[in-house]
Structures are given as structure tokens and as C-alpha cells.
Amino acid sequence: MELSEIYHQRNFGGVGDFSPKISFEIFPPKGNDISSLYEELRILKRFEPVLISLTYGANGAANRFSIEDMKSIRDLEFNLMPHFTCVSSIKDEVEEHIVSVENIGIENILALRGDIPDYIKREELDFKYANELVEFIKEKTTLSIGVAGYPETHPESKNSHEDIKNLKRKIDAGASAIFTQLFFDNDKYFHYVENVCKAGINVPVIPGIMPIRSLSQVEKMISMTKVTVPKKLREQLEKYPDDAKKIGAEFCINQCQDLIEFGVCGLHYFILNHSDQISEILENIL
């Protein structure tokens, strides 16, 4: 099922009840041994995710799920959305990969600029920005394309206005949905959605949610993404570091309930390849 179909209608579980579409993002395990990841996914299948997003390794790492991996995960009856980035600079290789993805029955892809390693010069890339990649995928395949959005502005953008202009270029090139970077302050997301709408962008903006598992994880996210962590949450994690998973789950439940009341059509979870904490969270909000 394509992105426009998935998020076209809200899913009502009863009179007055609204259940957003759930999706999960996973990454290639170290050593590419994905047998344990299969088990985590089997556990999460009961939540009926509309998408499983398949990311690359972090910080520009080249490791990614192979076509065979995708077939195996798809055989668990999941709808997949692999990532693809501009870091793969040769157009022929890009075309070969996206066509291979389409040929095994995958309908969606997430097109990103990606983290560009220091050893690669941007001017050497065939695709320098995500909108160029979106346009190429649209030209060469029938894949439905998702793109990234940044409620707290992309770290390399001059300001939020410039960031939204870049987002519109991606949508105008053919993207069908926006999946946001993680955030902990819902007001940032609400303001972002308002600005997206004012810019004439009329596609779903799916909030990206990362349940906190440890204080060190939060510190890493701050350094990588520059996201804002509410003062009260930060103080709780610093005071009770051994209870970080519990604190993180409680915060995430409240955050998601607030987003559901706002009327989001989906919740996209960065689960870090673990099923335990997200299972607890979803049991409390669905």
C-alpha cells in the first residue's frame, strides 16, 4: 500500500475514538545478523504497523538492508519503506537499486540527503539535495516517496523559513508524505505543521517519536540533532538514571496521547531495534 493510501483516511476505532497509523523504524544490526531483529518484529506485529522503515547505518555508514533482507522482512507480511540517500553518488547505481526495490514488490521509499562523510565532497555527488533524488526516483519508478521534515529546523538551514522552502522543493518534486525528525516538545511539532500548511504543503506530516532508554541516548541525540529536551524531563533523567526506561516510557505515552488529541494521522517510532519498551507504550495509548 502506498503512502497516499495509508494516510488518506484516519482510522476510527469507534465513536469518538481515533487510532493513528503506527509505523516503526529499524536499522541494520551490527554484523548484519538480523535473526534477533526478526524476533523483535514478530513481537511487534500484533500492533499492525502500516510501515516498517529500513534505515541505513548511522552517520553516513554504508551498511544497509540487502534486497534479500528486505524479502525476508516482507515475508513476515510487513509493508516496507527502505531509505535511500544522496550519498550514493552514481546515478546508474541509484537507478539499479531503486528498480531492484520496486521489482520485489516494495511500493514506498524514504528519500534523504543523508549524512555526507568528510571524505566525500558534495560537489562530487550526482545528487546534492534530497529534492533532486526525489525527482529522479519519480522519473525512474512508480515508488511512493516519503521525505524528512525537521520541527526544530535542519541543523544546516539558515532559519526555519529557509528549511520550509527546502521541504517544499521536495514535495513539489513528487514526495507524498513527510516523516519528521524526533522531538520531545510537541509545541515544536504543532508550530511546524502550522508553517508547513502556510507554505501550501498539503501532504501528511507524520511525527517521529523516539522513546528514551537512557540518559546517554539523550545526550547523543542532542549532539547529533540539536533537539530540545524539556527541562523537567532532563532533570528526572539526571536524578534517576537507572529508571531512564520507565521515565522515557511514561513521557512517551503522554507525548503520544497529546499528539493523538491534536489529530495526527500517524505515529512513526524510532524503536532502536527493541520491542519491549515500545510494546508497553503502545499498550497504553491504543
Active site residues: 25
What is the distance between the alpha carbons of residues 178 and 4, in angstroms, rounded to a whole number?
11
Are 9 and 37 in contact by the 8 Å Cβ rule? The answer is no
Nearest C-alpha neighbor of 205 from the set 192, 218, 215: 192
Sign of CA dihedral 216, 38, 111, 198: negative
Nearest C-alpha neighbor of 130 from the set 163, 95, 170, 164: 170
CA distances from 51 to 112, 167, 179, 252 (A): 17, 22, 12, 20
Instruction: Give the N- to C-terminal CA distance of the chain in Å, as an integer.
Output: 22
Neighbours of 228 (CB within 10 A): 15
Phi, psi of 56 (to 5 degrees): -80, 180
How are the residues of the chain apportioned to helix, strand and coil, as percentages rounded to the nearest 5? 45, 15, 35
